[in-house]
Amino acid sequence: MSKRFNRREFQQQVLDKLQAQASGEAQISTLGVQIGQESWLVEMPDISEVLPMPPLTPVPLTKSWYCGVSNVRGNLCSIVDLNAYLHNSATPRDARNRVLLLASHFAFNTGVLVSQVLGLRDIHEWQQKEIGGRTCYQDGDGHVWYKLDIGQLLHQPEFLQIGV
């Protein structure tokens, strides 16, 4: 037997959520990922979806960090190995790999391959630093997390030039 819908409980839940937003309670909107051996932070509004590595079709005459294209629910998406792009070392493929599909407001059908997803992170109390010209954060355990700026990545000419 299906559970009955309680309109009063539903309305109370919606009201509680609206009050939490109005009172300024912080929403965690940062995703922690591992790229190679480094920990990175990605803003959730920059990602439309996180999915396991889809089947790929290789594209000839492209750079080594360009994995290929994949059909994701009827849309062709370019898949880029972020570790290979940043550090010239390909991501070892295993079951923990994930592809972060970029949000539609970037107007790129692109996904970036990461070693693994580490979960949501609340960085509000972390110490912000600048290391080698890159924004990073240090968590309470002293671990360094780099900030991945998707918008800045998409404006790099070398990222947009996939051909060899």
**Is residue 47 in some structural domain?**
yes
pLDDT of residue 134: 84
Task: Please tell me the predicted confidence (pLDDT) of residue 87.
Answer: 85
Model confidence at 1, pLDDT cuts 50, 70, 90, reads: very low
Question: Mean pLDDT over residues 26-43, rounded?
Answer: 89
Let me know if residue 46 belongs to a domain.
yes
Q: Say if 80 falls within a structural domain.
A: yes
Instruction: Record the pTM.
Output: 0.80
In a domain, residue 91? The reply is yes
Q: And the tokens for 104?
A: 């539609």
**Residue 120 belongs to domain spanning:** 29-160
Show Cβ contacts of residue 66 under 8 Å, excluding neighbours closer than 6 positions: 59, 78, 79, 80, 81, 162
Asked whether residue 20 carries a pLDDT value surpassing 70, the answer given is no
Percent of the chain predicted with pLDDT > 90: 74
Residue 43: give its domain's CATH number: 2.40.50.180
Specify if 6 maps to a domain. no
Mean of pLDDT values over 55-78 = 95
153 φ, ψ (degrees, to nearest 5): -60, -45
- Position 43 in a domain: yes
Backbone angles phi, psi at 101, to 5 degrees: -80, 130
Work out how many domains the chain is built from and give that number. 1
What is the mean predicted confidence (pLDDT) over 135-154?
93
Measured in degrees and rounded to the nearest 5, phi and psi for residue 103 equal -65, 150
Whether 154 shows a pLDDT value over 50: the answer reads yes
For 4-26, b where at least 16 C-beta lie within 10 A, e where not — what string?
eeeeeeeeeeeeeeeeeeeeeee
Burial label for 72, CB within 10 Å (0-12, 13-18, 19+), is middle
pLDDT digits over 87-118, tens only? Answer: 889 999 999 999 999 999 999 999 999 999 99
